[in-house]
Structure 1
Amino acid sequence: MTKLLFVCSRNQWRSPTGEQVWRRQPGIQARSAGTSPNARRKISEADIRWADIIFVMESKHKQRIMAEFPRLLENKRVHVLDIPDEYQYMDPELVDQLTDAVAHVLQTGV
């Protein structure tokens, strides 16, 4: 079972969409969290420990979690998806981007 963690700022639209899209896939478990103190679900040490691969929507999310959890991230794969904060939850274009980008990483490891 591969465990995917999706991270955005407020855990409102992008990361919950990633969780929803990927948690239905065979062999995948998915969670989502946010980096903001105002996030619906704030990222925690437990989330980092749980995840095999972490997908962040923007570089700033990677910088924030690296600043907050440097030791925990030493052996973790963190991928920046470069998906801007301009989508609503389950927006079809967002779903397509998340599907394609994450599938590419899972298939190639890059």
Structure 2
Amino acid sequence: MLFVCAQNRLRSPTAESIFRDVDGWEVASAGTNRDPEVPVSRDLLEWADVAVCMEKRHRDILRQRFRGALPDNRILTLGIPDDFEFMDAELIRQFRRLVPWRLEAIRPRAAGGGEGAG
């Protein structure tokens, strides 16, 4: 699973940190801007089974820049604005509530067992 925000400094690294120890999940994070800590790439998207974007604009960037690297139904959007610090308690609560719920929406399509590790 690849968590995506703009700078890869606050939101997506927080998600990566809180979900990295979930059994059966491999997680990474990346950013869409020009100077993120870890830039999103075609390789990362092809590695991931799912990309979880913080905002619609991140999803749109992935679809535009990396067309075909990950099917559209595997790019999820959480709607979490850039209003939080790294590991903010409210941000963590939102991730724990939203991520499982959004993944459940695609679970029937994921049941076939993909080749990706993320």
What's the TM-score, normalizing by structure 2?
A: 0.85
Q: Report the counterpart of residue 37 of structure 1 in structure 2.
A: 34
Q: How does 1:1-110 map to 2 (within 5 A)?
A: 4-74=1-71, 77-109=74-106
Q: Which has the higher helix share?
A: 2
Q: 1:28-49 CA distances to partner (integer Å, 9 max, x unpaired)?
A: 1110000001101100111101
CA distance in 2, matches of 1:19, 1:107: 18
Shift of 1:104: 1.1
Identity %: 35
Aligned length: 107
**SS of corresponding position for 2:26:** strand
Task: Say if 2:63 and 2:72, in contact at 8 Å, map to a contact too.
Answer: no
**SS of corresponding position for 2:7:** coil
Shift of 1:24: 0.9
Greater Cα offset, 65-74 or 13-22: 65-74
CA distance in 2, matches of 1:70, 1:108: 22
What's the TM-score, normalizing by structure 1?
A: 0.91
Question: Moved runs in structure 1, 4+ residues, more than 3 A?
Answer: none
Q: Give unmatched runs, 5+ long, in structure 1.
A: none
Q: Which has the higher strand share?
A: 1
Q: Give unmatched runs, 5+ long, in structure 2.
A: 108-118
